[in-house]
Amino acid sequence: MTLRALIAAALLLAGPTLAHAEGFFRAHLEAVDLGTWPEVSILVRLEDEGSEGGMDDGTALPNPDSRVDCPAQACWRITRLEELGVPVTLMAQQTAPIQARSAEQFLWLRYRSNRAQQDRVELLLELETGYGGNRTASDQPELHPAEATNTDLIRRSPWPYLAKHWDAKLNEEYKTVRESISKEPQQTLVQAQRAWIRYRDAFCAAVKGQQAEKQASAEQRADRPERCMALQTLARTVALQNFRHLLDEPPRK
């Protein structure tokens, strides 16, 4: 058999393995709410360690808008959630979209602790995607709620916290773009940004006022404007990032 034939045979044999390669994620504790103990809310940042270049294009993270990725609106199977080796009761979960230009996303969990009082505990969290296969890394470290930011912004959902988080990211991106262009386009950018803020606020106010989804709970209806603000702000951040990347591209000859 020639060398070329051997290489071709090797590629054919390797093909299925590569096509079914599993993704591994690492969880980092972003924030915690201990204000309604024994009910606890945590916000976890998930990173796809197998994504090429850290870009969201090639990530194995689930898409919250996909019924395939997130059957029954559950993007993750919580295969293990324990405090000091004792399982806790999972009450709710929500997954935020993949963040702009990165292979990471946020997962919000609410659970009931089995411990009588608050103390320093180690939280063991193991996940796999809702469609199976991709999961947290085998060496995923334990999480320490007592060391995370304690905030009531994640009490009912992740959206109040994420609206504030992404607003900070938007301000950073806006400042970077503004400083990279000349004075006249700067004035146009300022006007456009102010117009977008008016649009976002008006749009999310309309979302708050509408009651079309009659089957939604009162908590879900209250969650709408906060979710709207967070997602609109994220979308604007993406738009400014795309614009900045266009500025960074060398001129075509």
Alpha-carbon distance 215 to 212, whole Å?
Answer: 9
Sorted by where each begins, the domain ranges of the chain are 24-152, 160-248
**4's tokens:** 């070329």
Query: Residue 219 has what pLDDT?
Result: 55
Query: Residue 104 has what pLDDT?
Result: 85
Query: Residue 49 has what pLDDT?
Result: 81
> pTM, whole model, 2 decimals?
0.81
The set of residues, in sequence order, having a beta carbon less than 8 Å from that of 98 and lying 6+ positions away, is 56, 59, 61, 63, 104, 105
Query: Residue 138 has what pLDDT?
Result: 85
Q: pLDDT of the chain along its 253 residues, tens only?
A: 443 333 333 322 333 332 323 568 999 999 999 999 999 999 999 998 876 544 455 678 888 888 888 887 788 999 999 999 999 999 999 999 877 667 889 999 999 999 888 888 899 999 998 777 688 888 899 999 989 999 999 999 999 999 999 999 999 999 999 999 998 889 999 999 999 999 999 999 988 777 555 545 555 556 788 999 999 999 999 899 888 888 776 666 5
Query: Residue 35 has what pLDDT?
Result: 94
Query: Residue 16 has what pLDDT?
Result: 32
Given CA atoms 210, 215, 216, 217 in this order, what sign does their dihedral have?
Answer: positive
State which fold the 24-152 domain adopts.
Immunoglobulin-like (2.60.40)
CATH 1.10.150 fits 160-248, yes or no: no
In the chain, the N- to C-terminal Cα span, in Å, equals 47
Alpha-carbon distance 108 to 75, whole Å?
Answer: 11
